[in-house]
Structure 1
Amino acid sequence: MVSRGQATAAGAEQRLNELGIALPPPPTPFGNYVEGVRIGKLLYLSGMLPVIDRKPQVVGRLGVELTVDEGRRAAEIATLSALSAIKAELGSLDKVAAIAKLGVYIATSGDFRDHPAVADGASDLLADVFGPELLSGRIVLGVASLPLGLPVETELLAEVAD
């Protein structure tokens, strides 16, 4: 178990620029909910999909229509949307003190077994942007289907710096 102490994500915005990553526009809900809710120092994000401007970027299930690499890319796109939602809510990614938890839901065939490799698309991006010291715990689940026929949905819980 890792104790975060006073670790901060100062420099996350700079790392985005250094990595040449441009965030997509903040996502908008596909139903009756909000993309994020801040309660005290915690920012809870709704599930994020590999969608940009309400257009699916990758469709299908892992182990059927999609490869592990395509699933990793879908997880990365969904996580970019999460970063965009965080920035819209907080004004800057530098206000994130920690990523407390990452959930990755993967639409798969029943015999697919490479869930961790797909989820690493999200984890690797978060480590690149916030630094490995803010890498979170995570849960990875295979599911029968996800909204809009998409292969991946990510969910984040972030701690907001004072």
Structure 2
Amino acid sequence: MIEKKLQELGYDLPTAPQPLANYVTVNRTGNLLFTSGQGCFRNGKPVYQGKLGQDISVEQGYDAARITAINLLSVVKAELGDLSKIKKVVKLLGFVSSTSDFYDHPQVINGASDFLVEVLGEKGKHARSAIGTNVLPMNLPVEIEMVIEIEE
């Protein structure tokens, strides 16, 4: 049902990204999945690079967060095989690479939050933190982690 909703909305889940270092992309304990941070990659390349408040607009940052959420779902699908096993998104932790005078981190991470609610409905509503940082790997503007509760 979730994958059908993705198709109806015009989203295609990419192949799950592979780890860039010595870690796993998702770790399962009990009925919780913890994802590693993901970025705004498409076909293995960053869609956006740079800092919010300098190189990237809030609208581009929002899109970067949406692309990142799509990648997060692809990691979850690779782990579960079926997105219908998602009971609820528990929490997002969003990092935004930004200048010291940029204050719109929540508006940027809304790209991921809005996408998850659009696709998952009530299951997509979550607790969240949006944090500014001075740099992210590969000069990405956004990195997001997600915690999901799954059906056993």
Which range, TM-score by smaller chain?
A: over 0.9
CA-CA distance at 1:106 after TM superposition: 0.1
Q: What amino acid is the match of 1:52?
A: R
Alignment of 1:58-97 (within 5 A): 58-97=48-87
**Following superposition, which runs of at least 4 residues in structure 1 exceed 6 angstroms of deviation?**
none
Paired residues of 1:28 and 1:54 also in contact (CA < 8 A): no
Percent identical? 41
CA distance in 2, matches of 1:129, 1:77: 13
Paired residues of 2:87 and 2:123 also in contact (CA < 8 A): no
CA-CA distance at 1:133 after TM superposition: 4.8
Q: Deviations over 1:39-88 (max 9, x none)?
A: 11001100011112321110000000010000001101111110000000
- Other structure's SS at 2:11 match: coil
- Other structure's SS at 2:69 match: helix
TM-score, normalised with respect to structure 2: 0.97
The equivalent residue for 2:40 is: 50
TM-score, normalised with respect to structure 1: 0.91
CA distance in 2, matches of 1:98, 1:132: 8
The equivalent residue for 1:115 is: 105
CA distance in 2, matches of 1:76, 1:114: 16
CA distance in 1, matches of 2:47, 2:62: 12
C-alpha distance 76-134 of structure 1, shift in aligned 2 (>3 A) = closer
Q: What amino acid is the match of 2:130?
A: V
State which of 124, 136, 139 in structure 1 corresponds to 2:114. 124
Q: What amino acid is the match of 1:15?
A: K
CA distance in 2, matches of 1:47, 1:107: 14
Unaligned runs of 5+ in 1: 1-10
Count of matched residue positions in the alignment of Structure 1 and Structure 2: 152
Alignment of 1:130-149 (within 5 A): 130-149=120-139
